[in-house]
């Protein structure tokens, strides 16, 4: 059984050897253990030698070898480490959200033609109210949104520049595009070089949701 200072010293010597390959000096050991004199270091080293935790290497100045290590004590004052969170489990839950017809990823067409329910893995949805729209067209292909995909939309009425949104134009036609502000206008950008951006007055555009995910089926 080692005293606290003996334990601290052998750990300090071992750590220094592992870090630099050279034993610490007596002055360094004195400062590390907050001792008043080097004589205290000599006594501790002699005690560790007697207990066969360290040995002095012959014909080499300040050369020490650690023969074995005591168990590191548990600091009772230290706050307990929080338990590691369990890794997330696959989300196999399925929820049903309204499917509001088709939406254009090209020329605006009418959305909200009807409402059935679409089963969706819960892992694809975040917080908030969601609905789905079937994508028609190819103007968003460079964003990975293909004709026949189901766009999962989080219902909201505001958008930030660069978000993909469902935008209702003049109250009757809806489209899926990147939302951007351009001066006093709203610009709806496609993700297909074959299509041009669409510009509208802010009063013409009503944001009805932001893209949250894509659901694709393979037949």
Instruction: Tell me if residue 36 is catalytic.
Output: no
CA atoms within 13 A on the CB side of 61: 2
Say if CB 157 and CB 206 are below 8 A apart: yes
Specify which residues 103 forms β-bridges with: 135
Strands 94-104 vs 64-66: parallel, antiparallel or unpaired: unpaired
23, 30, 139, 154: which is the annotated catalytic residue?
A: 139
Q: How many residues does the chain have?
A: 219
Angle 156-159-165 (CA atoms, 0-180°, nearest 5)?
75
Say if CB 179 and CB 186 are below 8 A apart: yes
Instruction: Tell me if residue 139 is catalytic.
Output: yes
CA–CA gap between residue 32 and residue 13 (Å, rounded): 10
In sign, the C-alpha dihedral spanning 94, 97, 102, 108 is negative
Instruction: Locate 179 and state its tokens.
Output: 């939302």
23, 30, 154, 177: which is the annotated catalytic residue?
A: 177
Q: How far is CA 197 from CA 74, 125, 169, 172, in A?
A: 65, 29, 14, 19
Angle 122-108-164 (CA atoms, 0-180°, nearest 5)?
40
Residues designated catalytic: 139, 177
């Amino acid at each position: 059984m080692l005293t606290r200072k003996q334990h601290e010293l052998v750990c300090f010597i071992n750590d220094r050897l592992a870090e630099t390959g050279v034993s610490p000096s007596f002055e360094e050991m004195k400062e590390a253990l907050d001792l008043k004199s080097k004589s205290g270091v000599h006594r501790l080293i002699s005690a560790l030698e007697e207990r066969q935790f360290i040995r002095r290497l012959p014909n080499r100045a300040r050369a020490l070898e650690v023969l074995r290590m005591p168990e590191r004590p548990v600091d009772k004052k230290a706050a307990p480490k929080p338990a590691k969170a369990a890794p997330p489990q696959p989300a196999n839950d399925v929820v049903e959200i309204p499917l509001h017809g088709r939406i254009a990823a090209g020329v605006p067409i009418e959305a909200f033609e009807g409402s059935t329910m679409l089963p969706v893995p819960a892992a694809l949805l975040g917080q908030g109210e969601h609905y789905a729209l079937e994508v028609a067209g190819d103007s968003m292909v460079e964003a990975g949104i293909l004709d026949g995909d189901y766009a999962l939309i989080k219902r909201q009425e505001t958008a930030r520049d660069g978000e993909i949104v469902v935008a209702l134009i003049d109250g009757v036609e809806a489209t899926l595009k990147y939302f951007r502000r351009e001066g006093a206008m709203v610009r709806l950008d496609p993700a297909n070089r074959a299509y041009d951006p669409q510009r509208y007055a802010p009063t013409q555009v009503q944001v009805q949701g932001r893209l949250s995910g894509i659901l694709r089926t393979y037949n």
